[in-house]
Amino acid sequence: MTSATDLDSRTSPTPVLVAWFAIMDSDDPDRVLTMITDDFRMSIQFSTGGGKAAEFVGDRAGLVGYLQQREKSVLVHEILAGSRVGDVELALGRTTRNGEFEASFNTSAQLDASGLVRRLLICRTPEISFAL
């Protein structure tokens, strides 16, 4: 796997999360703002290791703040396993930098009837790697 769109055969389709991370890996990650509902809420737990972490929370403005502080076109997100249960997509993945492991992440996204993201929870840490 070399990007979020290269799904493992054990992974069930999570098309919204695949699209989300493909956009996040692009030169224009702000396009994810077109993927959220008016009542969007999020929490991104972002660990850099060694017990150091930040939480980005909020609505659209919170996501804008998160997007403004992150590196663009540096990390590649890979979904290792995923599933959809009702209106929720779940994924286990990893990020790499220059092909090297950087962190593992879990993502849960609740979708509305049109496929937009209503709720988003992402937890990321470099402390654990999953061999799948």
DSSP β-ladder status, 52-58 and 36-49: antiparallel
Q: How many domains does the chain have?
A: 1
Domain with 78 in it: what CATH number? 3.10.450.50
Asked, for residue 9, whether it belongs to a domain, the answer is no
Query: What are the pLDDT digits (tens) for 19-69?
Result: 999 999 999 999 999 999 999 999 999 999 999 999 999 999 999 999 998
Asked, for residue 84, whether it belongs to a domain, the answer is yes
Check residue 74 and give its pLDDT: 82
Contact 83, 12 (CB under 8 A): yes
Query: What are the pLDDT digits (tens) for 71-126?
Result: 777 889 999 999 999 999 999 999 999 999 999 999 999 999 999 999 999 999 99
Expressed as residue numbers, the domain containing 95 is 15-125
Asked, for residue 132, whether it belongs to a domain, the answer is no
Asked, for residue 8, whether it belongs to a domain, the answer is no
pTM of the prediction?
Answer: 0.88
Contact 14, 90 (CB under 8 A): yes
